[in-house]
Amino acid sequence: MRWRRYVVNEGWVSPRDFLLGLAMIQAFPGPNFNFAVYLGSLAALSGAKPSFAGALLAYLAIFSPGLILVHGTMGLWVKLRTYRWVKSGLRGINAAAVGLVYTAVYRLWQIGYVHEDFAAGASLGRDPWWVVVTATSYTGCCWFGVPIPVAILLGGGMGLVWYGVVSG
């Protein structure tokens, strides 16, 4: 897994901090670019540098290339988007991106169970309670129109119930 090879094995971030940050960032809407800022902050701390400096550097590193690319190619894009083959290609890229998102969610399911026995993460399917939490959130959103923030809070509440039962 890349995160272990490039982030954790280098000693910048612990497996626990990485997985907790990844889980927290999934609760925020939109792209997960903020995760880079979180990792930059932790990496700076592990190098005895100010957290803010690492966060700022990560912010600039993740956003600058896209901003430069967008503003530098806007004139070319106005012409290219009129071609049918470009639109078809973009639909294919969009489908591939959706597949990558589903793959990322599946991988998070496979390593998202962080416990003292599984510091590097284990499958959430190991404990039936997390299957119940996932099914409840999905069913509530899909079939009963529960707003996503409410489903997130419900999942957090169910996690606290699990913690209370297991540790108490």
- pLDDT over 80 at 114, yes or no: no
- pLDDT over 70 at 7, yes or no: no
Q: Which of 8-17, 75-84, 87-96 has the lowest mean pLDDT?
A: 8-17
C-alpha–C-alpha distance, residues 32 and 117, integer Å: 28
Q: Per-residue pLDDT tens for 24-79? A: 887 777 667 788 888 889 888 888 888 899 999 999 998 898 889 888 888 888 88
How does residue 124 score in pLDDT terms, banded at 50, 70 and 90? confident
Q: Which of 5-9, 15-19, 127-131, 161-165 has the lowest mean pLDDT?
A: 5-9
Phi, psi dihedral angles at 113 (to 5 degrees): -90, 100
Sequence-distant (6+) residues with CB within 8 A of 121 are 15, 19, 110, 111, 112, 113, 114
How does residue 4 score in pLDDT terms, banded at 50, 70 and 90? low
Q: Rounded mean pLDDT of 73-99?
A: 90
Question: Phi-psi category of 49—alpha, beta or left, where left has phi over 0 and alpha has psi -120 to 50?
Answer: beta
C-alpha–C-alpha distance, residues 79 and 82, integer Å: 6
Average pLDDT in the chain: 85
Tokens of 37: 């800022």
Q: Where is pLDDT greater, at 31 or 111? A: 111
Provide the b/e sequence for 97-121 (b: ≥16 CB within 10 Å). Answer: eeeeeeeeeeeeeebbbbeeeeeeb
Phi, psi dihedral angles at 77 (to 5 degrees): -65, -35
**115: which strand partners?**
118
How does residue 3 score in pLDDT terms, banded at 50, 70 and 90? low
Q: What is the pLDDT of residue 37?
A: 87
Q: What is the pLDDT of residue 6?
A: 65
Asked if residue 62 lies in contact with residue 39, where contact means CB atoms within 8 angstroms, the answer is no
Q: Where is pLDDT greater, at 29 or 125? A: 125
